[in-house]
Structure 1
Amino acid sequence: MKVLIYDGECNMCSVFVRFVVRMNKNPDLFITDFNSDWTARNVRIRRDTDSVIFISGLHQQLYSDAVIDLLSEIHWLFKPARILKFIPKVLRDKIYQVTAENRHRFFKTASCPLPSEKFKHMYLK
């Protein structure tokens, strides 16, 4: 089982998760947020975590590794994204963190869309 854990209160994360759900072809991938009961029961998260978390088997990944590995799991079209791992992790993670710090400038929504049936099926409560 593979699980994407995201910040349900972050507009950028919500946009990203809707994209993941729409593109996902992997029946073993599920999503949930930091505040779900599933997360509380199954994952130890540090309070200062400021990244999506991608769990694949026993591995937890954060920042750019989480995004790259998640994308390569959802659809064959994104397998080439793994080439980004040739960029030094320090640089990739810095880009991730700068983007996350400025997310409120770029991702503003007045309302949240209703979850699709596919989203409901993939979501771990």
Structure 2
Amino acid sequence: MLKSRDWSPVPWQGADGVILFDGVCVFCSRWVRFVARRDAARRFRFLPIQTEAGRRLAATLGIDPEAPETNAVAVGGRVWFKSDAAIEVTRRLPGWRWTPLARLVPRVVRDRLYDLIARNRYRLFGRSETCMVPGPELSGRLVAGSSDPT
């Protein structure tokens, strides 16, 4: 098995608050809805990796759009991946500010759990044939078609 790349956070000069996610993954789409419902400040926008703009951003970040190993969030001048991305998003949501405590667990351990779920996400939660249909909570928050999130 090939060793995966190091998914440490990287500096970012592009748009803040963009979450890149697997739009055909039921679990990932539920995550997006979870964030959108709690993000009253509308800090986050969502970009399915299956869109033209999503594929471009994935390529920029070193994520294979055909087999994404991670989601990503651009926030605070950095792009965060895997468990770090989830922590960075949730810590900015009301009632979830405690989530940085998860960093007490070493990233290698957190990311192994993340990888276990990610590898089995379609089997455990399902996969749709098309990107999710946005509900009212996502109104105006999906990065449109070919728009550039950077």
Q: What is the TM-score normalised by the length of structure 1?
A: 0.84
What residue is the counterpart of 1:11 in the other structure?
26
What residue is the counterpart of 1:120 in the other structure?
139
CA distance in 1, matches of 2:72, 2:57: 13
What residue is the counterpart of 1:33 in the other structure?
48
CA distance in 2, matches of 1:110, 1:66: 23
Letter in 1 for 2:50: N
User: Is 1:107 aligned to residue 107 of structure 2?
Assistant: no
Deviation at 1:124, TM superposition (A): 0.8
Deviations 1:67-102 (A, max 9, x none): 0111112x2211001100111000000000001112
CA distance in 2, matches of 1:81, 1:108: 27
CA distance in 2, matches of 1:40, 1:101: 20
- Structure 1 residues 55, 101: closer, same or farther in 2, change over 3 A? same
Across the aligned residues of Structure 1 and Structure 2, the Cα RMSD in angstroms comes to: 2.3
What residue is the counterpart of 1:45 in the other structure?
61
> Once the two structures are aligned, what percentage of the paired residues are identical?
23
Task: Please show how residues 55-66 of structure 1 align to structure 2 within 5 Å.
Answer: 55-66=74-85
Deviation at 1:11, TM superposition (A): 1.5
Deviation at 1:116, TM superposition (A): 1.6
Deviation at 1:58, TM superposition (A): 2.8
Query: How many residues are matched?
Result: 124
Deviation at 1:106, TM superposition (A): 2.1
- Structure 1 residues 29, 110: closer, same or farther in 2, change over 3 A? closer
CA distance in 2, matches of 1:97, 1:25: 29
Moved over 4 A (4+): 40-43, 109-113
Instruction: Show structure 1 runs of 5+ residues with no match.
Output: none
Deviation at 1:49, TM superposition (A): 4.1
Instruction: Show structure 2 runs of 5+ residues with no match.
Output: 1-15, 145-150
CA distance in 1, matches of 2:132, 2:81: 26
Deviations 1:19-53 (A, max 9, x none): 11122223221111113344356561322641110
